[in-house]
A and B are shown apart, each in its own frame.
Chain A
Amino acid sequence: MENYCKEFKIQKNDIGNAGTVASLTKRELKRRGLTKDFVKTVTIGIYEAEINVVIHSYGGTCVVSIDDEFVNVTFKDNGPGIECIDSALTPGFSTASHYAIENGFGAGMGLPNIKSVSDEMELTSSKEGTTLHMKFNISGDSYES
């Protein structure tokens, strides 16, 4: 199947639109005949990361690319960066604002969830911005039979 590549913009505090990347990617993965479980895995990872950009950063972008072997997703934001990546990866650790918590987020489960659903995850951060890359392997079993 043809390769897919799409870039999305994510605005700070735009909670109402968080989930757009996940739902459009879900549609594309379904169209390609991938299984419900595979689609769920990828969309959970994307949704969590989208929420992170919305509630923690000054805004950013997301690029989703899909070929026959992998789904690659890269989120880049414009800061302010993660102070301690090890803490951020600890389940339950949270620096979320009252605003995020009121909206049902900020439980400290975002990055741990992303780590557990993705096949590879890379997270780098400085004050200028955070980059999160996640990779999902597509195998024969990933397709509906």
Chain B
Amino acid sequence: MRVNNILTNINFELLSNESGLNHEVKSFFASDLLSHVMGNAAEGSTLITVLNNINVLGVASLLDMSCVIFSHGVKVNDEIISKSNELGIPILRTKLNTVSTILILDKIGS
């Protein structure tokens, strides 16, 4: 599955520009603690989180993650969006909670 495929579902909106939409989503990782993400998330994975600060992109970049999805409709400021554009790691947002997000992503991927 690629990031593009996720966007075909009505629940997800693209917040960043279109760079990186071709990234392969190799797996998913959900966490709101960056040390857990850093210690456990795999390269190419997509992060699902409600943690809306700039360090999320820093960690995503270090781990070469494919995409970041903000769940629960959290507010995402311009600084995060411009960092995402600079790094080429797309960010999406959904109003769904984290569990529902994962269930829908599983359906999209199958």
Contact = CB atoms under 8 A, between A and B. Distances in A.
Q: Do A and B come from one complex?
A: yes
A70 B79 CA distance: 36
Nearest to B79: A16
Interface in A89-127: 103-105, 107-110, 113, 116
Binding site secondary structure of chain B = helix
Binding site secondary structure of chain A = helix
Contacts of B55: 15, 18-19, 103-105
A56 interface: no
Nearest to A113: B39
Contacts of A51: 34-35
A87 interface: no
Nearest to B42: A40
Interface size class of B (residues with CB under 8 A): 20 to 34
Interface stretch (A4-12, A42-50, A60-68, A131-139): A42-50
A76 interface: no
| Most A C-beta atoms less than 10 A away, residue of B35, B43, B51, B53 | B35
Contacts, number: 62
Contacts of B36: 107, 109
B62 A109 contact: no
Contact of B34 (A16, A26, A43, A105): A105
A26 B61 CA distance: 10
Interface in A11-51: 15-16, 18-19, 22-23, 26, 36, 40, 43-44, 47-48, 51
A19 B32 CA distance: 18
Contact of A23 (B35, B43, B53, B58): B58
Contacts of A48: 35, 38
A78 to B, nearest CB: 23
Interface in B16-55: 32-36, 38-39, 43, 51, 53-55
A116 B63 CA distance: 17
Interface of A: 15-16, 18-19, 22-23, 26, 36, 40, 43-44, 47-48, 51, 103-105, 107-110, 113, 116
